[in-house]
């Protein structure tokens, strides 16, 4: 991994085929909007069979700074691809990048993670990130961004600091995620707007933000924590499941330009 965030050559060299069971529509994690069907049982990362190849999930500039937009949810061939392997060096040669000696990787330094209260400009960033990330990864339309804007506006307008809180996560000094907790009633708190940038995935940050909300709600003596999400958001759902949330209601809706299953989850505190 030490070289990967400055490389991306394999994501712009090889076809990436995987079992269709890994798609989020089949209870897997790979966003179906970024894949194409090859057969009934096989899917392919979109763009990896183009000439020149470039996976639709790859962000940034090859050989300089890159990221996988679905790092936490990437398909199994990407998880199994070894830095420093023959295939890795083959891809790097193709893109004019120096060879890697697998026995001599540089040491990876830990990212510096900070969770802090919002500062001027942060709430606008939360809206913009929701709009951009969900449009790119799920094809959601502007009505979703509008919903997020209304949640943020209400938070800002009606904030009860004793009962409500928001956190912005920073990784190495850059905004990387958010989560909010708001007061639904005297006994019920609601978790909202949990999001991570693609570059911040895989660091356990989604879990840390959720844990902050749970600890805050317990400290305020709320009896229950609720949230609303969508069935396709498998990584977030896994975080909630691991912390004991359960689904209490689900319904079909057409809110963001395609049919979705909305879900209400709750956790007794």
Q: Which of 2, 145, 134 is nearest to 70 (CA)?
A: 134
CB neighbour class for 48 (10 Å; exposed up to 12, middle 13-18, buried from 19): buried
Q: Smallest distance from the beta carbon of 49 to ligand SF4, in angstroms?
A: 12
Q: Is the CB of 29 or the CB of 231 nearer to ligand SF4?
A: 29
The least CB distance from residue 144 to ligand SF4, in Å, is 23
Q: In angstroms, give the least distance from the CB of 82 to ligand SF4.
A: 7
The residues binding ligand SF4 (CB under 6 A) are: 3-4, 7-11, 16, 45, 55, 57-58, 68, 70, 74, 78, 81, 83, 88, 91-92
Tokens encoding 246? 């359960």
- CA–CA separation, 147 and 126 (whole Å): 12
Q: What are the CA-CA distances from residue 199 to residues 113, 140, 220 (Å)?
A: 13, 20, 32
Comparison of 66 and 233: residue with beta carbon closer to ligand SF4: 66
Our CB check for ligand SF4 shows the closer of 79 and 157 to be 79
Quick one: which of 142, 174, 144 has its CA closest to 67?
A: 174
Q: How far is the CB of 71 from ligand SF4 (least distance, A)?
A: 6
């Amino acid at each position: 991994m030490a070289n990967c965030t400055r490389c991306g050559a394999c994501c712009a060299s090889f076809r990436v085929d995987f079992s269709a069971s890994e798609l989020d529509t089949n209870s897997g994690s790979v966003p179906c909007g970024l894949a194409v069907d090859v057969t009934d049982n096989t899917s392919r990362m979109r763009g990896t069979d183009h000439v020149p190849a470039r996976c639709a999930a790859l962000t940034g500039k090859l050989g300089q700074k890159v990221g996988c937009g679905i790092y936490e949810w990437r398909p199994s061939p990407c998880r199994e691809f070894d830095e420093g392997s023959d295939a890795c060096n083959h891809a790097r040669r193709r893109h004019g990048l120096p060879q890697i000696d697998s026995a001599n990787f540089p040491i990876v330094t830990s990212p510096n993670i900070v969770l802090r209260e919002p500062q001027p400009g942060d709430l606008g960033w939360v809206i913009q990130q929701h709009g951009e990330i969900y449009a790119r990864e799920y094809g959601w339309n502007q009505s979703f961004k509008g919903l997020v804007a209304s949640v943020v506006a209400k938070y800002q307008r009606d904030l009860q600091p004793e009962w409500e809180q928001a956190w912005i996560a920073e990784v190495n000094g850059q905004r990387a995620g958010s989560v909010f907790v708001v007061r639904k009633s005297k006994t019920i708190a609601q978790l909202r707007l949990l999001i991570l940038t693609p570059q911040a995935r895989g660091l356990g940050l989604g879990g840390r933000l959720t844990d902050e909300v749970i600890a805050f709600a317990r400290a305020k003596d709320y009896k229950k924590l609720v949230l609303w999400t969508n069935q396709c958001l498998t990584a977030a759902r896994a975080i909630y499941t691991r912390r004991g949330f359960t689904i209490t209601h689900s319904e079909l809706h057409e809110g963001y330009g395609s049919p979705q299953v909305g879900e209400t989850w709750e956790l007794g505190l």
